[in-house]
Amino acid sequence: MTISDLDRLHSQLSRLEDMFPGYRTEIVEGDIMMSPVKPHHAETIRLVWNALREQVADEWGFTSGVAFPFDGDNEFCPDLAIIPASEVAKNEGAYPPDLIELVVEVVSKGSIRRDYEVKPRRYASRGIANYLILDPLQAQATTLWNPGPEGYRGRDTIPYGPDLTLDSALGKLTIATGRFPVDPKAPHPA
């Protein structure tokens, strides 16, 4: 039995993560990117996951930090992705990005360009209907929708505090942003 190049690469990335605990590894534009995961990052993911789990039908499942190979230069590991529950049940290490209905990224200092510039183009080009960026550095949430070949055509940004409503194929989803943690080391707007 032969191992595909993608399987081999994914195996190598898994070993890299094992060597550097506390870091998430993904391939972006052909480069291996490692980002530290901090408590406020994980707390944001937990709060969103819990809020959405209550609102999304049981036929949908949740993944976090699982690989989605887009092409030879990009293998993203979204902070949270909603895909069919039947796919999650397979318990794979990688899934096709075409399964994603909603994707969520939580910004860290090292991921600003990736989360705001690179990933929106890739996510939109694959037809991922909704992309939510949660930014504890700026205490704001950005929703992107209406995907096209060059990126998303719709975009709204709100400060943390009020409820965020996403109109999606999953239904009208509401997320309370008032409890989202803010990075205590980030310079905050006055």
Half-sphere exposure (Cβ direction) of 89: Cα atoms closer than 13 Å: 6
| pTM of the predicted model over 0.85 | no
pLDDT at 178: 95
**Residue 156 contacts by C-beta under 8 Å, 6 or more apart in sequence?**
142, 143
pLDDT band at 184 (very low <50, low <70, confident <90, very high): confident
Residues 178 and 190: their CA atoms lie apart, in Å, by 18
pLDDT at 81: 98
**Tens-place pLDDT, residues 18-74:** 555 556 666 666 666 656 566 677 899 999 999 999 999 999 999 998 889 988 888
- Radius of gyration over alpha carbons of the chain, in Å? 16
- DSSP lists the bridge partners of residue 146 as none
Half-sphere exposure (Cβ direction) of 19: Cα atoms closer than 13 Å: 8
**Residue 186 contacts by C-beta under 8 Å, 6 or more apart in sequence?**
109, 136, 137, 138
Q: What secondary structure letter does DSSP report for 168?
A: E
Per DSSP bridges, beta strands 60-63 and 80-84 are antiparallel
**Tens-place pLDDT, residues 86-137:** 999 999 989 999 999 999 999 988 889 999 999 999 999 999 999 999 999 9
**Residue 168 contacts by C-beta under 8 Å, 6 or more apart in sequence?**
101, 102, 129, 130, 145
Backbone φ, ψ for residue 33 (5° rounding): -115, 130
Q: Is the dihedral of CA 50, 54, 55, 58 positive or negative?
A: positive
